[in-house]
Structure 1
């Protein structure tokens, strides 16, 4: 919320290009996943427990924490990520990248569409985001249960990387709509005038 307020009231779009801000946000998300990845070379091992070591008298916050080897067969190969590093990176990258991405993508889409009717396009954009928020947790949680957090992280890194590459490829097209004005000379006027037909055609010209 704080970043939204700062971005709006201080008009950061005057100093930061929307395209650069989007790409920076995507790169930050990739960086977060790489730093918080459970790399095999990380020292130590996550805490583990099973039905034989379960203490029925212990509370959730005491002994019965860690990876349940009875449910997950990937516990033996999992390395612990430093909790302070994780939350620090979460605050810095996620706390900045997500708000910046939400603001700049919506703003840039509005500029690209230009004076054309935006209701349908903006509706598709919002619907796709809502659909991903429904499907995403189901897919990631399924991967987590079956293969562990590494596979979930791998999927997220791949999706974000593909999106970032797509941005790089389409970078020059992510600009506000410019409509060429076609004119013709009218015998009833002293100079060139834009006809209604040409005006309507110019509205639907692409970027």
Structure 2
């Protein structure tokens, strides 16, 4: 079989809607969906909502609980543990993406991820059975949580396959709104468990139910719900044509032909890389808000673990409600707003978050002194800058953070996802959607380690300058490619 035949057959497998004719790729409209499957899109939204409630519950109290069960925990260890969690997410994103791509299925990867999450919840709930070095078991739980949550990646390709290009923004909005609704619900659940302060109720010897383990127990039950919804409510998409491979060819020839056709697809690879880099820039802001900010609050303002959980829950709940409103408006009005403009706006506002909350001397106060009883405040044995560092007013940081999340998260997520999906076109997007998430995971792996090291060595001011520089570079890169993005926005 000739190389051209390899390309034709591999192309049919990789992309039912693209064919090669005289070396030119053209669209086969007969292979495109005739209409958007909104029922499937809404089921995806329901699964996404329930899954992200679990994710938020499992992530909301990691730092304060680590400090409670193991006083030897440092910000750097937390950063490394968080990075390991995202490394697990990155590895299993590839596993689940290839699983879904190769076997053309969605249900098995989702269910398997939920089973991993169930196991990790059991380990997390029993961490106090250990007498020392509990932080290492917690870190293992982080890794398992990260691996489990990567199963949702396969739903991104499902949305792209089940929707028409003109409905892509609205289809991704349904999934994004589900995430925002989870942001509202998860803090409400978290606050309800704050009525059971640590050490809580002993349900078994050295196994306790309290503000930190209660949400994990609920998350375990929710995983069972996700399995049920996935198995009974989600339908598999029609299978695409299988790639038979070259006649009498070796395994190497098989994958060579597949890769040749893949690289020859009519895709703007430069714009694919741009979107992946923008995903990384946006994720860096999320790393600060999700992983570094809790450390900053306890260190700079002396908040106890319970106070941090309560204020974070209120802040995230408020942000979730406002984000849901913004997301709903954007879902209906987004077709009138160029997606490239929307993402640029969201990225620019996120940059302003760090500009407005920079610890300027004129408006800042000295960081809180260390309190051994609550293990909060700035510990000079861990941070050399405690005596000279200042922090902006806590209310300013909380309000600006909440406002930025509310305005930027729904717009940035939906607009970038829609642009990326349109750039890929009507191919089987499982692997490239997985690659898109890998860029996010790389930042979640490297970001906590690097950013926590900068925070440990220099404090908030240097950390904020780094983020301002990265976001500014992202804004400039997006503007330089503005004209090339127009057909996809």
TM-score (norm 2): 0.32
Of 79, 85, 91, the residue aligned with 2:402 is 91
Correspondence 1:148 to 2:459: yes
User: What SS does structure 2 have at the residue aligned with 1:175?
Assistant: helix
Deviation, 1:132, is 1.3
> For the structure 1 residues 4 and 103, does the alpha-carbon distance in structure 2 shift closer, same or farther, using more than 3 Å as the test?
farther
Deviation, 1:153, is 1.2
The 5 Å alignment of 1:38-57 reads: 38-49=359-370
- Give the equivalent residue in structure 1 for 2:487: 176
Is 2:326–2:410's contact at 8 Å kept on the other side of the alignment?
no
Deviation, 1:117, is 4.7
Deviation, 1:159, is 1.2
- Give the equivalent residue in structure 2 for 1:195: none
> For the structure 1 residues 83 and 44, does the alpha-carbon distance in structure 2 shift closer, same or farther, using more than 3 Å as the test?
closer
User: What SS does structure 2 have at the residue aligned with 1:23?
Assistant: helix
Output the CA distance in 1 between the equivalents of 2:358 and 2:385: 15
Can you list the C-alpha shifts for 1:118-148, whole angstroms capped at 9, x where unaligned? 3333221111112212221121111111111
Deviation, 1:65, is 4.0
The 5 Å alignment of 1:89-168 reads: 89-168=400-479
Output the CA distance in 1 between the equivalents of 2:364 and 2:450: 29
Output the CA distance in 1 between the equivalents of 2:406 and 2:386: 30
User: What SS does structure 2 have at the residue aligned with 1:66?
Assistant: coil
- Give the equivalent residue in structure 2 for 1:188: none
Is 1:112–1:175's contact at 8 Å kept on the other side of the alignment?
no
Q: Which moved more, 1:89-98 or 1:68-77?
A: 68-77
How many residue pairs were aligned? 167
Q: Which runs of 5+ in 2 are unaligned?
A: 1-179, 181-320
User: What SS does structure 2 have at the residue aligned with 1:74?
Assistant: coil
Output the CA distance in 2 between the equivalents of 1:103 and 1:17: 12
Q: Which has the larger radius of gyration?
A: 1
Relative to its length, the structure with more helix (as a share) is: 2
> For the structure 1 residues 74 and 6, does the alpha-carbon distance in structure 2 shift closer, same or farther, using more than 3 Å as the test?
closer
Deviation, 1:5, is 7.1
Output the CA distance in 2 between the equivalents of 1:168 and 1:106: 18
Output the CA distance in 2 between the equivalents of 1:15 and 1:22: 14
TM-score (norm 1): 0.71
Deviation, 1:95, is 2.5
The 5 Å alignment of 1:185-200 reads: none
Is 2:366–2:391's contact at 8 Å kept on the other side of the alignment?
yes
Deviation, 1:42, is 2.8
Of 14, 23, 32, the residue aligned with 2:344 is 23
Is 1:46–1:78's contact at 8 Å kept on the other side of the alignment?
yes
- Give the equivalent residue in structure 2 for 1:72: 383
User: What SS does structure 2 have at the residue aligned with 1:76?
Assistant: coil
Deviation, 1:105, is 0.4
> For the structure 1 residues 8 and 156, does the alpha-carbon distance in structure 2 shift closer, same or farther, using more than 3 Å as the test?
same
Q: Which runs of 5+ in 1 are unaligned?
A: 178-207
Output the CA distance in 2 between the equivalents of 1:4 and 1:121: 28
- Give the equivalent residue in structure 2 for 1:187: none
- Give the equivalent residue in structure 1 for 2:313: none
Is 1:40–1:78's contact at 8 Å kept on the other side of the alignment?
no
Is 2:326–2:406's contact at 8 Å kept on the other side of the alignment?
no
Deviation, 1:6, is 5.4
- Give the equivalent residue in structure 1 for 2:355: 34
> For the structure 1 residues 134 and 159, does the alpha-carbon distance in structure 2 shift closer, same or farther, using more than 3 Å as the test?
same
Output the CA distance in 2 between the equivalents of 1:34 and 1:87: 14
- Give the equivalent residue in structure 1 for 2:65: none
Is 1:29–1:97's contact at 8 Å kept on the other side of the alignment?
yes
